[in-house]
Amino acid sequence: MTGPAAGELAVWAPAASRLRAQISAVGDGSAAAEQIIVELEPAEGGWWRVGVPQAVPGADYGFLLDDDDTVLPDPRSRRQPYGVHGPSRCYADDFVWSDQSWPGRDLVGAVIYELHVGTFTPGATLDSAIERLDHLVELGVTHVELLPVNAVNGVWNWGYDGVDWYAVHEPYGGPDALKRLVDACHRRGLAVLLDAVYNHLGASGNYLPRFGPYLKQGRNTWGDLVNLDGEGSAEVRRFIIDNALMWLGEFHVDGLRLDAVHALADSSSPHLLAQLSAEVAELAASLGRPLSLIAESDLNDPVMITPRAQGGYGLDAQWDDDVHHVWHALLTGERQGYYVDFGSLASLAKVETHAFFHDGSYSSFRGRPHGKPIDRQRTPGWRFVVCLQNHDQVGNRAAGDRLSSLVSAGLLRVGAVLLLTSPFTPMLWMGEEWAASTPWPFFTSHPEPELAHAVSEGRLAEFAEHGWDPASMPDPQDPATYRSAILDWDERVRDGHAELLALYRELTRLRSSCPDLADPRLDRVAVGFDAEARWLAVRRGSYLVTANLAAAEQLVQAPGAAEITLATAAGARLVAPDTADADARGARVLLPGESAAVVRLGRTSSAEQLA
Reported as a single tens digit per residue, the pLDDT across 391-412 is 999 999 999 999 999 999 999 9
As a whole number, mean pLDDT of residues 266-280 equals: 98
| 259 flagged as catalytic | yes
pLDDT digits (tens, 9 = 90+) for 207-222: 999 999 999 999 998 8
pLDDT band at 608 (very low <50, low <70, confident <90, very high): very low
Among 28, 55, 89, residue at a domain's last position: 89
Residue at 26: amino acid letter: V
| 296 flagged as catalytic | yes
Among 27, 56, 89, residue at a domain's last position: 89
Q: State residue 33's pLDDT score.
A: 65
pLDDT band at 1 (very low <50, low <70, confident <90, very high): very low
DSSP characters for 38-61? EEPEE-GGGEEEEE-TT--TTEEE
Backbone φ and ψ of 581, nearest 5°: -120, 20
Sign of CA dihedral 81, 83, 87, 89: positive
DSSP characters for 108-165? TT--EEEE-HHHHSTT-SHHHHHTTHHHHHHHT--EEEEPP-EE-SSS---STT-SEE
Tell me the CATH number at 46.
Answer: 2.60.40.10
Question: Do residues 501 and 564 both lie within one domain?
Answer: no
Question: Do residues 442 and 553 both lie within one domain?
Answer: no
**pLDDT higher than threshold 90 for residue 605:** no
Examine residue 209 and state whether it is found in any structural domain, yes or no. Answer: no
Enumerate residues 6+ apart whose C-beta is below 8 A from 499: none
**pLDDT higher than threshold 70 for residue 562:** yes
Examine residue 330 and state whether it is found in any structural domain, yes or no. Answer: yes
Tell me the CATH number at 371.
Answer: 3.20.20.80
Q: State residue 603's pLDDT score.
A: 63
Question: Do residues 589 and 496 both lie within one domain?
Answer: no
Question: Do residues 71 and 138 both lie within one domain?
Answer: no
Inter-helix orientation angle 409-420/321-332, to 10°: 160
Question: Do residues 322 and 406 both lie within one domain?
Answer: yes
pLDDT digits (tens, 9 = 90+) for 97-112: 999 999 999 999 999 9
Examine residue 293 and state whether it is found in any structural domain, yes or no. Answer: yes
Contact call for residues 289 and 249 (beta carbons, < 8 A): no
Examine residue 445 and state whether it is found in any structural domain, yes or no. Answer: yes
Q: State residue 445's pLDDT score.
A: 94
As a whole number, mean pLDDT of residues 410-434 equals: 98
Average pLDDT, the chain: 94
Q: State residue 577's pLDDT score.
A: 79
Examine residue 212 and state whether it is found in any structural domain, yes or no. Answer: no
pLDDT band at 579 (very low <50, low <70, confident <90, very high): low
pLDDT band at 502 (very low <50, low <70, confident <90, very high): very high
pLDDT band at 592 (very low <50, low <70, confident <90, very high): very high
CA angle 479, 480, 481 (to 5 degrees): 90
Q: State residue 468's pLDDT score.
A: 75
Chain centroid to CA 396: 14
Question: Do residues 370 and 425 both lie within one domain?
Answer: yes
What is the rounded CA–CA span in Å between residue 430 and residue 90? 34
Report CA dihedral (113, 356, 374, 296) to the nearest 10 degrees: -40
Question: Do residues 416 and 447 both lie within one domain?
Answer: yes
Tell me the CATH number at 548.
Answer: 2.60.40
pLDDT band at 584 (very low <50, low <70, confident <90, very high): very low
Catalytic position from the list 60, 259, 320, 359: 259
Count CB neighbours of 447 within 10 A.
Answer: 13
Question: Do residues 85 and 121 both lie within one domain?
Answer: no
Contact call for residues 143 and 72 (beta carbons, < 8 A): no
DSSP characters for 479-519? HHHHHHTS--GGGGGSTTTHHHHHHHHHHHHHHHH-GGGG-
Catalytic position from the list 296, 301, 341, 519: 296
Examine residue 202 and state whether it is found in any structural domain, yes or no. Answer: no
pLDDT digits (tens, 9 = 90+) for 183-194: 999 999 999 999
Q: State residue 454's pLDDT score.
A: 87
Question: Do residues 535 and 502 both lie within one domain?
Answer: no
Question: Do residues 398 and 444 both lie within one domain?
Answer: yes
Q: State residue 82's pLDDT score.
A: 96
Examine residue 256 and state whether it is found in any structural domain, yes or no. Answer: yes
Residues present in the chain in total: 611
Q: What percent of the chain has pLDDT over 70?
A: 95
**Summary count for the chain: helices (H), strands (E):** 15, 29
According to DSSP, the residues that pair with 125 across neighbouring strands are: none
What domain range is 373 assigned to? 112-197+228-509
Q: Could you give the number of structural domains in the chain?
A: 3
Examine residue 428 and state whether it is found in any structural domain, yes or no. Answer: yes
Contact call for residues 126 and 173 (beta carbons, < 8 A): yes
**pLDDT higher than threshold 90 for residue 29:** no
As a whole number, mean pLDDT of residues 511-537 equals: 98
What is the rounded CA–CA span in Å between residue 527 and residue 608? 9
Enumerate residues 6+ apart whose C-beta is below 8 A from 252: 97, 99, 102, 179, 182, 183, 186, 192
Contact call for residues 609 and 584 (beta carbons, < 8 A): no
What is the rounded CA–CA span in Å between residue 114 and residue 599? 29
Of 22, 13, 3, the residue nearest 78 (C-alpha): 3
Maximum separation of any 2 CA atoms in the chain, in Å: 94
Chain centroid to CA 447: 27
DSSP character for 228?
S
pTM of the model: 0.96
User: Does residue 109 come out as left (phi exceeding 0), alpha (psi in the -120 to 50 range) or beta?
Assistant: left
As a whole number, mean pLDDT of residues 367-392 equals: 98
According to DSSP, the residues that pair with 597 across neighbouring strands are: 546, 567
pLDDT digits (tens, 9 = 90+) for 132-156: 999 999 999 999 999 999 999 999 9
Contact call for residues 484 and 237 (beta carbons, < 8 A): no
Question: Do residues 372 and 316 both lie within one domain?
Answer: yes
Backbone φ and ψ of 576, nearest 5°: -65, 150
Question: Do residues 259 and 368 both lie within one domain?
Answer: yes
Inter-helix orientation angle 345-354/321-332, to 10°: 160
